[in-house]
Amino acid sequence: MAQTQTREPGLHTVSVTVNGTHYSREVEPRQLLVYFIREQIGLTGTHVGCDTSQCGACTLLLNGVAVKSCTILAVQVDGADIKTIEGYAEPNGKLHPIQQAFWEEHGLQCGFCTPGMVVTIDQLLRDNPNPSEAEVRKGLDGNLCRCTGYQNIVKSALSAGRKLRGEEPFEKPDTAMTEAAGVH
Ligand code: FES
Ligand code: FES
């Protein structure tokens, strides 16, 4: 006789691929995607800053498009391909060019907004590989930095664009020298 899987009443199965790994979880219909990612998948780099679609700390890529994951229900993403901040660096720890640019340009202070900023800049630079400073500022207007580090975040985005276009080395020479000297 075929075995039936018992499921608590009212729960729905959601299957997704996150950073290349497949997951299947039972969720309540009211569960927001950001909590699904943090609490059920266990990837806590996607942050909750406001829960009301204001701050952008919860931004991730859903089927290649940057979205605020506090505005979406987990049950709406069944079958989706998701990329979170944990999917940006390479398995050997080599940073993504956007992360490298944040490091070099001092684009973060407490770092709370940084995952959302990186994902939003990824989308921005795919849509417009050579943005002006004004276009970067406009593209980031849905992401808030409570440390008000906007100047360096914008510098980081512009530097990331140059790196991705091959106009700037992945690692700036002064950073390489600092590392070689063991100064971090
Ligand atoms: Fe989603 Fe602030 S937590 S926009
Ligand atoms: Fe602290 Fe942006 S670096 S919130």
CATH number of the domain encompassing residue 41: 3.10.20.30
109 close to ligand 2 (CB < 6 Angstrom): yes
Q: How confident is the model at residue 174 (pLDDT cuts 50, 70, 90)?
A: confident
Give the ligand at the shortest distance from the Cα of 115: 2
19 close to ligand 2 (CB < 6 Angstrom): no
Domain span including residue 75: 12-87
| Residue 50 CB burial class (10 angstroms; 0-12, 13-18, ≥19) | middle
In a domain? residue 165:
yes
pLDDT tens for each residue of 14-68:
999 999 999 999 999 999 999 999 999 999 999 999 989 999 999 999 999 999 9
Decide if 152 contacts 136 (C-beta within 8 A).
no
174 and 101 fall within a common domain: yes
- Say which range, 121-130, 149-158, 172-181, has the weakest mean pLDDT: 172-181
107 and 163 fall within a common domain: yes
| Residue 28 CB burial class (10 angstroms; 0-12, 13-18, ≥19) | middle
In the reported structure, the alpha carbon of residue 89 is separated from the centroid of ligand 2 by a whole-number distance in angstroms of 20
pLDDT tens for each residue of 66-95:
999 999 999 999 999 999 999 999 999 999
Q: Which atom of ligand 1 is nearest to the CA of 53?
A: 4
In the reported structure, the alpha carbon of residue 180 is separated from the centroid of ligand 1 by a whole-number distance in angstroms of 38
Last residue of a domain, one of 87, 107, 129: 87
Q: How confident is the model at residue 100 (pLDDT cuts 50, 70, 90)?
A: very high
